[in-house]
Amino acid sequence: MPQTSIAVEIGGSVLRLGIVDSLGAILRSHREDSSHLCDQATASKLLYADIVEFIGSESFSEFAGIGISMAGLVDNEARSMVSASNLGWRDLHMGDEMEARTGARVTVDKDTNMSALGELQAGAGKGLDSFIYASLGTGVGGAVVYGGKLIRGIGNRGGEFGHLYAGGDAQCGCGLRGCLETVAGGAHITRRAREEAMRGQGAEMLRLANGDPEAITPVTVVQAAKQDDEVSLGLLSDAELAVGVGLLNAVRMIYPQAVILGGSIGSVRKFIFEPVKEYVERMSVLPGTNLPSVKVLPAALGDTAALIGAGLSVFRDLPTEIIP
C-alpha cells in the first residue's frame, strides 16, 4: 500500500493541499485563496485541477487516497458538504465527485474532526485514549475522542463546542443566540472591541489601530491587553471564563484524560491558555475522589492539524461512535 496520501483542507477563505505520510508528516504543501471554489457547480472540477497541478500528474496510483477536510456542516458517511456558509455550498457530494474524477479512495469530514484526528495520531493526543479537542480561532470548534474514536453524535454534530450555551443575547453565525462562539471566537471578540472603540473606550486598542476602530483585530486586542488596556483585558477575561466553564462542564460529563486547546485565540498563553488550564485542572476532580485531574495540553500541530488529519484519515476509516 502506498505510504503517502493527498490532503486537502477547504476553508472559507483558504485552500491548502499537502502530501502527508502515514506517520503524519507533511512532505510538501501549498496554500492559496479558495474563492475560485465558491461556484458549487464547478467546485469539484476546479479542485481536481488544483490537485493535479499540485502533484504534477493525473495519475493517483502512487497515493493511498485523498483526504478532504471542509469547514462547515459535513455528512461524513455520504462524504458531502451539507452546508458551507462561507463558500455558499449546499448538499455538495464532494467525495463522490472527486472519487469519480480521480479513481482514488476519498475520505471527507469536517475540519474540527480532522484536526482532532491529526492531534490523536501525530500531535498532543498521541498515546491518549480520550480527550476533548477545542480550537479557538475566528470561530470556536471542537471534537471529542473517547476510546480512540471520535464521538460523532447524530448527523456528525458531536463536539460542537462553539455552540455550547454561554449566556447573553449576541447572535451566532449558526442563527442561535448566546453560543460560546459569541464570547470566545476571534470574529466576535473583534466585533465587541470595535463597538467599544467607537464609543471611545479602549484607548490602547485605538492607539494601536491608529485611531481607526475598523482596523482593530484579535492581535490588537491581545497587544493592548499586554499594556493593561481595561477593555481588552475584559474581553479576554470574558472569553477565558466562558471557555473554562464550557470545558469544565464537558469534562465532568465524560471525564477524559485531557483537554487539547489550540487555535489562534486558544494559544494566547497569558490571557487564555494558562488561566483555562489552571481553572479546568483545579476544578475537574470532585472532592473526596482519588481520580487524577484532567490535564489541559496545548495543541501541537498548529494550523496544520486539519491538513494532517485529512491525510491520515486515508490510512484508516475514521472511527465512529454513534451516541443517539
Domain CATH for 12: 3.30.420.40
- 100 Cβ partners below 8 Å, 6+ apart? none
Q: What percent of the chain has pLDDT over 70?
A: 97
Band of pLDDT at residue 274, cut at 50, 70 and 90: very high
C-alpha cell at 129: 485514549
Same domain for 280 and 195?
Answer: yes
Is pLDDT above 90 for 289?
no
Q: Are residues 208 and 175 in the same domain?
A: yes
Q: Are residues 178 and 220 in the same domain?
A: yes
Strand partners, 90: 83
Q: Please give the Cα distance from 189 to 210 (Å, whole number).
A: 19
- 168 found inside a domain: yes
Query: Do residues 202 and 254 share a domain?
Result: yes
Does 277 share its domain with 310?
no
Confidence band for 323, pLDDT divided at 50, 70 and 90: very low
Kindly state whether residues 309 and 295 are assigned to the same domain.
Answer: no
**Residue 145: partners with Cβ closer than 8 Å, 6 or more residues away:** 116, 120, 125, 128, 130, 131, 132, 133, 151, 256
Domain that holds residue 29: 4-111+305-319
Q: What digits encode the pLDDT tens for the residues 98-107?
A: 999 999 999 9
139 within some domain = yes
Beta carbons of 115 and 144 less than 8 angstroms apart: no
Residues 169, 211 within the same domain: yes
Q: How many domains does the chain have?
A: 2
pLDDT of 321 > 50? The answer is no
Instruction: Summarize the confidence of residues 279-299 as an average pLDDT.
Output: 91
Judge whether residue 53 has pLDDT over 90. yes
Q: Does residue 97 lie within any of the structural domains?
A: yes
What are the residues facing 258 on neighbouring strands? 131, 295
Q: Give CA–CA dist 277/291, Å, rounded.
A: 17
Q: Record the cell numbers describing residue 245, joined without a space.
A: 466553564
Shared-domain flag, residues 286 and 140? yes
| C-alpha closest to that of 277 among 290, 288, 262 | 262
How far apart CA 172 and CA 104 sit, in angstroms, is 38
Pair 150, 288 in one domain = yes
Q: For the chain, what percentages of helix, strand and coil (3-state, to nearest 5) are there?
A: 40, 25, 35
Burial classification of residue 282, based on how many CB atoms lie within 10 Å of its CB (0-12 exposed, 13-18 middle, 19 or more buried): exposed
Is the residue at 206 inside a domain? yes
Tell me: do 144 and 59 sit in the same domain.
no
**Are 268 and 222 contacting, i.e. CB atoms less than 8 angstroms apart?**
yes
In a domain, residue 176? The reply is: yes
Give residues with Cβ within 8 angstroms of 241, minimum separation 6. Answer: none
Buried b (16+ CB within 10 A) or exposed e, 202-238: bebbbebbeeebeebbbebbbbbbeeebebbbbbbeb
How confident is the model over 182-194, as a mean pLDDT?
A: 95
Contacts of 253 (CB under 8 A, 6+ apart): none
Asked if residue 263 belongs to a domain, the reply is yes
- Is residue 41 pLDDT above 70, yes or no? yes
Residue 152 has pLDDT above 80, yes or no: yes
**Sign of the four-CA dihedral 313, 317, 323, 324:** positive
pLDDT at 318 over 60: no
Same domain? For 169 and 210 the reply is yes
The per-residue pLDDT for 80 is 81
Kindly state whether residue 219 falls inside one of the protein's structural domains: yes
pLDDT given at position 85: 66
123 against 74, higher pLDDT? 123
Residue 94 grid coordinates: 464532494
Q: Is a pLDDT exceeding 80 seen at residue 60?
A: yes
Q: State whether 9 and 129 are in the same domain.
A: no
Q: Of 180, 198, 87, which is closest to residue 134 (Cα–Cα)?
A: 180
| 324 in any annotated domain | no
Q: Which of 16-30, 48-62, 136-150, 307-321 has the lowest mean pLDDT?
A: 307-321
Asked whether 295 and 251 are in contact (CB, 8 A), the reply is no
